[in-house]
Amino acid sequence: MVGVENVRTSGSAFDPLAGGEVDEVRRGLAAVRATGCPVTTVASGLRFVAGHGAAREALLSHEHLSNAGNFVLEADNDGPAPPDLITQSDPPGHTALRALLRPGFARASITDATPWIREYADELLDALPAGGPADLVGDYALPLTGRVIARLVGVPAADAAELTAHSLAITAILPAAFTDTDAWRRLEEYFTLAARARRADDDPPDDLLTRLALGTAGGRRLTDQEVAFHAWQLFVAGLESTAYTIGSALYRLLSDRTRWEVLLADRSLLDGVREEGLRHGSAIRWVLRTAGEGASVGGEEVTAGERVIVGIESANLDETAFGPDAAEFDLRRPSARRHVAFGYGIHLCLGAELSRIEISTALAALLDRMPALRLAPGAGWTDVASPMFCGPQRVEVQW
C-alpha cells in the first residue's frame, strides 16, 4: 500500500502532515488560508484543503474522494493484512460496516451513559493526591476515555489500562506497519478470544463486540482477525481524540484562569465551552482522501490518484466561518457548533454524541470537585508526539 511518506517531498514550505508545535502549525495554516485557494498543492500528488467551506465540500464528496487508504495501514510481510476498516472504506462496504456498528452507538443508550461516566470520573479523581499535583491527561482524561470505550466495546474496565497502553503503542508508530509488534499480537489475541467467547455465549450482551462477532457485514460474518482489527479501531477512535479534547479545553480554561472562573459562575456555558473545545482543540488535525475521476474542490479540479488532505484543524480556525478572532478560545462563541472536529458527510464520527457526553462530564466533575483548580507552577503546553493528533501531552495542575 502506498504510504503518505511516499508522496511527500521535503521541499514544501509548509507540510500540513508534519504536525509540530501548535502555534507554529496554526500560523502555517493561516498563511495557506490567506491564499484563498480552495485546494493548494503541498507536494507532487498531494493537495491540501484549508478552508471551512471547501473542507465540508470535500468531506461530502465521497463519490469522487475515496477513503481507501485514508489512514494508511501497512501490513508486515509476515503479519496479517488489515481488512478495510470503517474509516478506510467506501460504499457499499462502508455502508454495511456502519449499519453493523451504528446501533451500538444508539442515542438512547449513549444518553444513559452520563451517570456511569461520572462514576468513572469520580473514581479517578478520588485516586489523585489531595491538592495535587496531577497530570489531567495521563491521570484523568486518558484513563477515563479508555474505560468508557472498553465498556462500549464490551470488555471489562479492569482490562482498559492494558488495552489503552497497547493502542497508544500502535498509534505512536502509524502509518508504519504494526502487525509484527508485541502490542498488536497482544491485542489480536485478546480480541480474538473475546470474539470466540461471544460466539459461544447463549445470551451475549448487546455491545459492539457482540455486533462484530455475531453480526454480518456485506452478507457474511467477520473472521476472528477482522473482529480484532475493527475492535482495535474503535478503541483507537474513541481514546486519544476525546482525551486530548478534554486536555486542550482544560489547558485553555486554566491558562487564562478568568475563563475557569466565568464557567464556575455560570455553568449554563458548559455545552458551548465543550463545542469551543472541540473546535479550538481539533484533536484530529486532518483526514486523508484519494481523488477518483472527476474530483474537484471549490471548482478546482483534482487529478485522479492525487491524495487530498482535508484540514480539519484549519477549517475549524477559518476566520471566514468563525470570525476574525477564530484563533482565540471564546467561551461564548455563537458559531462554535459549526466546527468539523467530528468530520462531515457519510463518515461523520459515530462516537460524536458519546464523546460530547464524556467531555462535558469530565469538565463538570472537575468544576464540582475542584473549583480551585489551577495550572501547576511552570506548567506549559507540550504537543502530543503525533502529526495526526493535536493536544497537550500533559496538563499539570494543583487545586
Nearer to ligand HEM, 132 or 164 (CB): 164
Residue 295 cell numbers, joined: 474530483
Shortest distance in whole angstroms from residue 129 CB to ligand HEM: 28
Rounded CA separation 53/51 (Å): 6
Residue closer to ligand HEM, measured from CB, 178 or 344: 344
Q: Cβ 133 to ligand HEM, closest distance in Å?
A: 26
Closest-CA residue to 256 (of 157, 321, 330): 330
CA distance 136 to 124: 10
Cβ-based nearer residue to ligand HEM, 132 or 278: 278
113 Cβ partners below 8 Å, 6+ apart?
A: 148, 354, 357
Strand order in the sheet with 134-135: 134-135, 396-398, 374-375
Distances (CA, A) of 251 to 21, 102, 243, 275, 392: 15, 33, 12, 15, 8
> DSSP letter at 141?
I
Sign of the Cα pseudo-torsion (399, 360, 120, 248, in order): negative
State which residue, 155 or 349, has the beta carbon closest to ligand HEM: 349
Q: Which is nearer to ligand HEM, 195 or 354 (CB)?
A: 354
The smaller minimum CB distance to ligand HEM, of residues 132 and 141, is found at 141
Q: Give the nearest distance from C-beta 238 to ligand HEM in angstroms.
A: 3
Interacting residues of 319 by C-beta distance below 8 A, sequence separation 6+: 33, 326
Q: How far is the CB of 241 from ligand HEM (least distance, A)?
A: 3
All cell numbers assigned to 394: 500533559
Q: By the criterion CB under 6 A, which residues form the site for ligand HEM?
A: 67, 70, 86-87, 98, 149, 234, 237-238, 241-242, 245, 278, 283-284, 287, 312, 341-343, 347, 349-351, 354-355
Nearest to ligand HEM of 167, 242 (CB atom) = 242
Between 132 and 311, whose beta carbon lies closer to ligand HEM?
A: 311
CB of 168 to ligand HEM, least distance (A): 15
Long-range contacts, 129-135 (Cβ 8 Å, 24+) = 131/398, 131/399, 132/376, 132/397, 132/398, 132/399, 133/376, 133/396, 133/397, 133/398, 134/396, 134/397, 134/398, 135/394, 135/395, 135/396, 135/397
C-alpha angle 365-281-366 in degrees, rounded to nearest 5: 10
Is the distance from CB of 243 to CB of 137 less than 8 angstroms?
Answer: yes
Give residue number: closest CB to ligand HEM: 351
Q: How far is the CB of 287 from ligand HEM (least distance, A)?
A: 4
